[in-house]
Amino acid sequence: MKCDELLALLNGYVDGDMAPGLCEELEKHLAGCNPCQVVVDNIRKTITLYKEGKPCELPLDFRERLHVALHERWKQTQMNGR
Amino acid sequence: MQATIINNALNAPQRDEDLLRRAKAGDLGAFETLTTRYERQVYSLALRILRQEQDAEDVTQQTFLSALENLAGFREEAGFSTWLFRIATYAALKVIRKRKGLDTVSLEAATEPQDSYDTIPHPEFIADWRQSPELLAQQHETRQLIDEALAQLNEKYRLVFLLRDVEGMSVKETAEALGISDTNVKVRLLRARLQLREQLTRAFGDERRRLAPHRHDEV
């Protein structure tokens, strides 16, 4: 299995989206290749970090404006009998 | 003891479904609670897609106004937050299209060449991370580091990463939202993941346990 082929398959492996035969081949390779194992692990952690990361704060004046705008729209929708 | 139990029940965070039900019944306070619960995430998503604060604010506001107006029709098959993030994503993509003067679904000219698996850069810095992502996520510096890494991605790769990996959209949904092929989604996602991995591993990897890349000419 050449390097580029392996790389191209990494995505499918990380996503759990691979034909069983191919998956087995890849896992056989991983069993004997520490760098590749670590790369797979790195990728999983990278994704987790972006998914789990804390969101940033809203600019304070924006937050106020947002909630004022929601109030206004709410009043309008109530008046339109929704 | 009884008082504590009751008190805890009263202070327990209300579920989205319950707040939603009350909001649909006309309870503005319930909608406001939902807004407060998700406004930072919506804003963060918009900011990551658009890389511009004013635009991100506009999209955030649009998103919650749209949710408010379409509450009655929201069928709750997906969760409320998923619905919200979808609205925000599509609104942000619309802004990008507008920036580029495009009126088609595709975010790029039809002449843009297909991405391929040729010349995918190989991992260079390979090392276990010193800490778990859960621990890292709690640290102040982490946010800046991961945002910088994201900002350095080519927009094509950044958008696919945000839609696929952060928002959890399927390949098909991502392809449709961006107006690109399924193949392009997959190749760009790979590039994004590898580039982010490279940068973040340089920041978080244990230098002392760095491994040399493995040559894979023959296996």
Res. B198: pLDDT tops 70: yes
Of B103, B130, B163, the last residue of a domain is: B103
Q: CATH no. for residue B207?
A: 1.10.10.10
B181 and B204 housed in the same domain: yes
In terms of C-beta density within 10 A (0-12 exposed, 13-18 middle, 19 or more buried), how is residue A65 classed? middle
Q: Mean pLDDT of all residues in chain B?
A: 89
Let me know if residue B218 belongs to a domain: no
Percent residues over pLDDT 90 in chain B: 71
Contact between B193 and A63 using a beta-carbon 8 Å cutoff: no
Sort out which chain B residues have CB atoms less than 8 A from A66's CB and list them: 35, 39, 57, 60-61, 64
Let me know if residue B116 belongs to a domain: yes
Domain total of chain B: 2
Let me know if residue B154 belongs to a domain: yes
Local confidence band at B113 (pLDDT 50, 70, 90 cut-offs): low
- Residue in B closest to A66 by C-alpha: B61
Q: Note the residue count of chain A.
A: 82
Let me know if residue B219 belongs to a domain: no
B94 and B178 housed in the same domain: no
B214 touches chain A (CB under 8 A): yes
B145 and B170 housed in the same domain: yes
Sort out which chain A residues have CB atoms less than 8 A from B35's CB and list them: 66-67, 70
Res. B218: pLDDT tops 60: no
Contact between B117 and A4 using a beta-carbon 8 Å cutoff: yes
B137 touches chain A (CB under 8 A): yes
Local confidence band at B77 (pLDDT 50, 70, 90 cut-offs): confident
Spatial CB neighbours of B1, under 8 Å, sequence gap ≥ 6: none
B186 and B209 housed in the same domain: yes
- Mutate which of A10, A14, A24, A45 to disrupt the B interface (most B C-beta within 10 Å)? A45
Let me know if residue B42 belongs to a domain: yes
Its pTM stands at: 0.87
Of B80, B103, B126, the last residue of a domain is: B103
Domain interval for residue B23? 1-103
| Distance, CA of A50 to CA of B147 (rounded, Å) | 9
The reported pLDDT for the residue numbered B219 is 44
Local confidence band at B112 (pLDDT 50, 70, 90 cut-offs): low
Of B31, B190, B200, the CB nearest to A10: B190
Of B82, B103, B124, the last residue of a domain is: B103
B36 and B79 housed in the same domain: yes
SS3 A56: coil
CATH topology for the A3-79 domain: Arc Repressor Mutant, subunit A (1.10.10)
How many A/B residue pairs have CB atoms within 8 Å? 143
Q: CATH no. for residue B77?
A: 1.10.1740.10
User: B141-167, pLDDT tens digit by residue?
Assistant: 898 999 999 999 999 999 999 999 999
B94 and B123 housed in the same domain: no
Six-digit token string for B167: 């928002």
B45 and B111 housed in the same domain: no
User: B19-72, pLDDT tens digit by residue?
Assistant: 999 999 999 999 999 999 999 999 999 999 999 999 999 999 999 999 999 998
B29 touches chain A (CB under 8 A): no
